[in-house]
Amino acid sequence: MVNLGDVFPDFEAETNKGPIKFHQFLGDSWGILFSHPADYTPVCTTELGRVAQLAPKFAERNVKMIALSIDSPESHNGWIKDIQSYCSLKGDFPFPIIADDKRELAVKFGMLDPDEVNAQGIVLTCRAVFIIGPDKKLKLSLLYPATTGRNFDEILRVIDSLQLTAKYKVATPVDWQSWSKVMVVPSVKPEEFKTLFPQGVEVAKVPSGKGYIRKTDAPK
């Protein structure tokens, strides 16, 4: 397993678009590596179609996308035609899919869902998401079971939070959206407000009298 803050290990893999070396594939970009249980399954078809529709939004955020399942490159290429047809997508499919048919990466990175097996009794991959920063360190991981499709608009929201909080000493509160206020992180001292947040800081009054809820406009 890779923990938050660890360098996500480099690896070589086959994809439907040819072999890759993961770190070289990422270059200086952010990255999202996400797995799905199997090609030619319904929820996965809706998920990969949605990610393909959102590809320009990942590109705007400088995030390279790559998917993974335990199927072969030929299977991925056949299934992509179904995804494009079902989700009304045209042109080149915007991201490669790793063919982890020996399940080496799935095992190494803890991506298996023991509750889901295929017709041959083989345990399938879960719906894992790993977001990796330009420093190659793991910034976020999510594991969903095979039976629950993910919300990739939420994943874009999370990327906005990760990218903002990587630059400024702020944290994003519940249900945060890019236009709403952010919280000053606890390690910032009040005497630093003027320099770090010239836009101003509001400190909420709470019964404890402790001024720990400190809101500001998102720095630009």
The residues carrying an active-site annotation are 44, 135
Nearest-approach distance from CB 47 to ligand BEZ, in angstroms: 8
Nearest-approach distance from CB 167 to ligand BEZ, in angstroms: 36
Q: Closer to ligand BEZ at the Cβ: 143 or 188? A: 143
At which residue do the structure tokens 């906005």 appear?
A: 160
Burial of 187 (0-12, 13-18, 19+ CB in 10 A): exposed
Residues 107-126 that bind ligand BEZ (CB under 6 A): 116, 124
The one among 3, 24, 42, 88 contacting ligand BEZ by CB under 6 A: 42
Give the integer Cα–Cα distance in Å for 50 and 151.
Answer: 9
> Total residues at the site for ligand BEZ (CB under 6 A)?
10
Which range, of 18-26, 40-48, 67-75, 93-101, touches ligand BEZ by CB under 6 A?
40-48
Give the integer Cα–Cα distance in Å for 32 and 140.
Answer: 10
Eight-class DSSP state of 192 = G
End-to-end CA distance of the chain: 35
Eight-class DSSP state of 37 = S
Q: Is 133 in the site for ligand BEZ (CB under 6 A)?
A: no
The one among 37, 49, 73, 133 contacting ligand BEZ by CB under 6 A: 37
Q: Is 41 in the site for ligand BEZ (CB under 6 A)?
A: yes
Task: Supply 74's token pair.
Answer: 């030929």
Nearest-approach distance from CB 42 to ligand BEZ, in angstroms: 4
Q: Closer to ligand BEZ at the Cβ: 14 or 47? A: 47
Task: Supply 42's token pair.
Answer: 């319904």
Q: Is 68 in the site for ligand BEZ (CB under 6 A)?
A: no
Helix axes 42-53 and 152-167, enclosed angle (nearest 10): 50
What is the layout of strands, in order, in the sheet containing 214-216? 170-171, 182-184, 214-216, 202-203
Q: Is 51 in the site for ligand BEZ (CB under 6 A)?
A: no
Q: Where are the alpha helices (DSSP H) in 61-201?
A: 73-86, 104-108, 152-167, 193-196
Q: Is 146 in the site for ligand BEZ (CB under 6 A)?
A: yes
The one among 147, 151, 177, 178 contacting ligand BEZ by CB under 6 A: 147
Q: Is 207 in the site for ligand BEZ (CB under 6 A)?
A: no
Nearest C-alpha neighbor of 63 from the set 169, 174, 162:
162
Q: Is 148 in the site for ligand BEZ (CB under 6 A)?
A: no
Q: For binding to ligand BEZ (CB under 6 A), which residues are involved? A: 37-38, 41-44, 116, 124, 146-147
